């Protein structure tokens, strides 16, 4: 939504169509939708049908494009599980970086694509590692830090009625409760 605003659009300017990520390439090719938010391997499939990338994690380095959302009660009741998920994501990324061929072979099976296509897809992604996340989520980071951008996203989602911030941790509190306990 921050990207929409930057380009002079608002959420109300769009017609949101609920599709699974793997339905997006065919929906774009058939003209059912003009654009879609998806991830690999659907991006590669859409590109092979003539689609163009409008925004991605490589061009929008200082924008959060994916988020996990949970309310305060959920985090309080399941803090250890959330920390475990975050640690698992970090561990999986480190393993992929260390053993890309083996990781791609394992991951290609559920995605039903070749190992080579999966490696090519990941080559087009920018996924911040643990150290980068640790740095950019610090409160002392530069104004274009992910912490700052997360605060902007939080404010925007609240202003659009997408979330009620009174039911969620603010970024300062969330980092203290959860992020600082990862690793």
Angle subtended at Cα 73 by Cα 72 and Cα 79, rounded to the nearest 5 degrees: 85
pTM of the model: 0.58
Tell me the two tokens of residue 41. Answer: 């391997």
Q: For 90-105, write each residue's pLDDT tens digit.
A: 899 899 989 999 999 9
The total of other beta-carbon atoms located within 10 Å of residue 147's CB is 22
Share of the chain above pLDDT 70, in %: 74
The total of other beta-carbon atoms located within 10 Å of residue 163's CB is 16
CA 70 to chain centre: 15
Distance CA 122, CA 92 (A): 13
Q: For 13-60, write each residue's pLDDT tens digit.
A: 988 898 988 899 999 999 999 999 887 778 888 998 999 988 877 777
Task: Report yes or no: 19 and 46 within 8 Å, Cβ to Cβ.
Answer: no
- Dihedral sign for Cα atoms in the order 32, 55, 122, 79: negative
Domains of the chain, by residue range, sit at 1-55, 68-183
Distance CA 65, CA 141 (A): 19
What are the φ/ψ torsions at residue 91 (nearest 5 degrees)?
-60, -40
DSSP letter string, 81-111: HHHHHHHHHHHHHHHHHH-HHHHHHHHHHHH
> Is residue 138 predicted with pLDDT exceeding 80?
no
Q: Based on DSSP, count helices (H) and strands (E) in the chain, helices before strands.
A: 10, 0
Task: Report yes or no: 42 and 35 within 8 Å, Cβ to Cβ.
Answer: no
Residues whose CB is less than 8 angstroms from the CB of residue 180 and which lie 6 or more positions away in sequence, other chains included? none
Residue 98's pLDDT is what?
93
Q: For 101-131, write each residue's pLDDT tens digit.
A: 999 999 989 888 889 988 887 876 777 777 7
With CA atoms as reference, report the closest residue to 28 among 41, 39, 14, 42. Answer: 42
Task: Report yes or no: 40 and 118 within 8 Å, Cβ to Cβ.
Answer: yes
- Dihedral sign for Cα atoms in the order 101, 81, 70, 87: negative
């Amino acid at each position: 939504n921050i990207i929409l605003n930057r380009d002079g659009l608002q959420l109300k300017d769009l017609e949101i169509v609920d599709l699974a990520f793997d339905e997006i390439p065919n929906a774009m090719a058939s003209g059912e939708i003009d654009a879609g938010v998806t991830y690999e391997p659907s991006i590669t499939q859409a590109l092979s049908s003539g689609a163009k990338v409008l925004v991605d994690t490589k061009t929008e380095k200082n924008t959060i494009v994916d988020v996990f959302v949970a309310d305060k009660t959920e985090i309080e009741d399941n803090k250890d599980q959330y920390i475990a998920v975050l640690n698992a994501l970090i561990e999986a990324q480190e393993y992929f970086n260390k053993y890309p061929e083996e990781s791609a072979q394992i991951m290609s099976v559920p995605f039903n694509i070749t190992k080579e296509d999966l490696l090519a897809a990941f080559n087009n992604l920018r996924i911040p590692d643990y150290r980068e996340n640790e740095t950019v989520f610090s409160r002392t980071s530069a104004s274009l830090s992910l912490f700052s951008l997360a605060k902007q996203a939080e404010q925007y989602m609240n202003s659009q009625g997408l979330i009620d911030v009174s039911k969620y941790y603010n970024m300062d509190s969330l980092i203290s409760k959860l992020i600082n306990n990862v690793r």
